[in-house]
Amino acid sequence: MHAMPAPNLPAVLITGGAKRIGASIARAFGAAGWHVVIHYGHSAGAAEKLAAELPSAIAIHCNLSDADAAKDMVDRLAAYLPDWRVLVNNASIFVPDDDGDIDMEKFRRTLRVNAGSPARMAQAFLTRAKSQGGRRVIHLTDQKIANPNPDFFTYTMSKHALAATVPMLAMGTAGPGDRVYNLAPGAILPSHDQSPEETEVSHRLNLLERRTEVQEIADACLFLAEGWLANGETLFVDSGQHLLAQPRDVIYLAREGAA
């Protein structure tokens, strides 16, 4: 660990915090005066660079395929951070597959990273972390928990599993001053082999026909960090995408529409 954060700064751990949505969340908390712990798996350079840019931050490595290592990381941070208020479980695996035949090795790894380790981390955090203002767990899930389709089959299964832990943790491990939330984004950033043109189309396939910006996810995390919603709630930040029945993932809907 690096130097102890100032005792007056609340701390947040963001898994997968070095790039993409996680990095935007890290920057938002840093700008709001938090001590930011940036977890990374394979992005050491990006994590260290981002930590150096923020007013108070450290980078920490952990392989989330190993749930014991993930719990150990939480235990070590709980002993180190004097005011650890928020755990943002953002890291996930998003690998293409469909409903034809589950690749069990892919399924096991996806479930471990996307659901098993985040749930175990949340349990340890709610049991061990010291907080002066109540503890908050924010699981980044997906609008697919309300609007599923057969694409990205194992990913979608894992996000449903993670979402299911929120009401259980809210009723069980969470104390009276704690809150546990789902934050469910829609299409936010380009994925896989999307072209800029496909991204522009796919990200507007929602009720408001607008692009949901990554900053909206970061702002939502800050909002939930204050715990104004009731314990166990889900906040959708997707411009209403979850309200539209979609037979395929928007990546393919955009591609098929252009064909």
DSSP of 21-70, one letter per residue? HHHHHHHHHHHTT-EEEEEESS-HHHHHHHHHHSSSEEEEE--TT-HHHH
Domain ranges in the chain are 11-258
Number of H helices, E strands in the chain: 9, 7
Phi, psi of 79 (to 5 degrees): -80, -20
Q: Helix (H, G, I), strand (E, B), or coil: what is residue 140?
A: strand
Nearby residues of 183 by Cβ (< 8 Å), 6 or more positions away? 138, 139, 140, 141, 217, 220, 221, 224, 234, 235, 237
Instruction: List average pLDDT for each run of 10 residues in the chain, which is 259 residues long.
Output: 65 97 98 97 96 97 97 97 97 91 92 98 97 94 97 96 97 90 94 85 94 97 92 97 95 79
Torsion (CA) 187, 125, 165, 161 in degrees, nearest 10: 60
Give the span between the Cα atoms of 251 and 142, in whole angstroms: 15
Rounded CA separation 69/90 (Å) = 17
Q: Which residues contact 165 (CB under 8 A, 6 or more apart)?
A: 115, 118, 119, 122, 139
Question: Among candidates 256, 237, 249, which has minimal Cα distance to 149?
Answer: 249
**Within a 10 A sphere around the Cβ of 110, how many other Cβ atoms?**
27
- For the chain, the first-to-last Cα distance in angstroms comes to 52
Chain-centre distance for alpha carbon 249: 19
pLDDT in tens, 137-155: 999 999 999 999 999 999 9
The pLDDT score that the predictor gives to residue 257 is 78
The Cα 179–Cα 81 span in angstroms is: 19
For Cα atoms 54, 60, 63, give the angle at the middle one, nearest 5 degrees. 140
| Residue 89, beta-bridge partner list | 139
Please state at what angle helix 153-171 crosses helix 117-128, rounded to 10 degrees. 20
CB 25 within 8 A of CB 218: yes
Q: What is the pLDDT of residue 133?
A: 85
For 11-258, CATH gives: 3.40.50.720
